[in-house]
Structure 1
Amino acid sequence: MDFVFDLVYGFQYLLGFVGVGGIGLFFQGAQTLGGTADIVVDSVISLHHVAGGLTIGPGITLRTGTSSGSIHGSGESPLVLQGTVSAQTSGQYFQVHGTTFTNEGLLEAKNGGAI
């Protein structure tokens, strides 16, 4: 399996369905992952914010498919969830790591998934 690391600068806006796997996204500076999207993890995915904070907007859903995922914070940079993170696949999980985490959205585990 190939594993891709991308450093993301600037505002991120998504619309629609995104199936992802084997990818690491690194957000540099204060960022918002916004728009409307259903991001399904079908192979390992990892989101990292390395400085300035990351906000996952209200129209974004990150959910397990056939694999697990994670969101990592860095230092004191805030991680704000306004959308949905859902571990909804039996035996799969979504990890959320961060010194400063604010949940203004939905963080859920169902159908045998785990947070």
Structure 2
Amino acid sequence: MCSTTTGNSDLGLTDKNSACTCSTDAHGHTDTASVASTAPTVDYLVAGMTCSHCVASVTEELEALDGVEAVSVELNAGGTSKVTVSSATPLDADAVRAAIDEAGYSLVTA
């Protein structure tokens, strides 16, 4: 999936094209199957992450779980970071906790 950016992003990239065509067919119709995901998405709170290495460690451990399709992290250095996991099927909470523990961080529970 792609996105277009009309200004500078954190990576310093700009898109001067008028539109992204990666999810359109030969007739210009949007392929909604490739744009919208039906995977369950769950947010987790993780304590102890401080940098991009921490993010990479947590992401790697979570992506190793069966069914995980995507992981994204909103880093709150030194605080509680939001980790969003999309998966083909619901994930076992103990498996998620174990993956985060294996990376060296703590799952925050309410």
TM-score above 0.5: no
Q: Higher relative CO (CA 8 A, sep ≥ 6), structure 1 or 2?
A: 2
Of Structure 1 and Structure 2, the greater helix share is in: 2
TM-score normalised by the chain length of structure 2: 0.22
Task: Name the one with the larger strand percent.
Answer: 1
Tell me the TM-score normalized by structure 1: 0.21
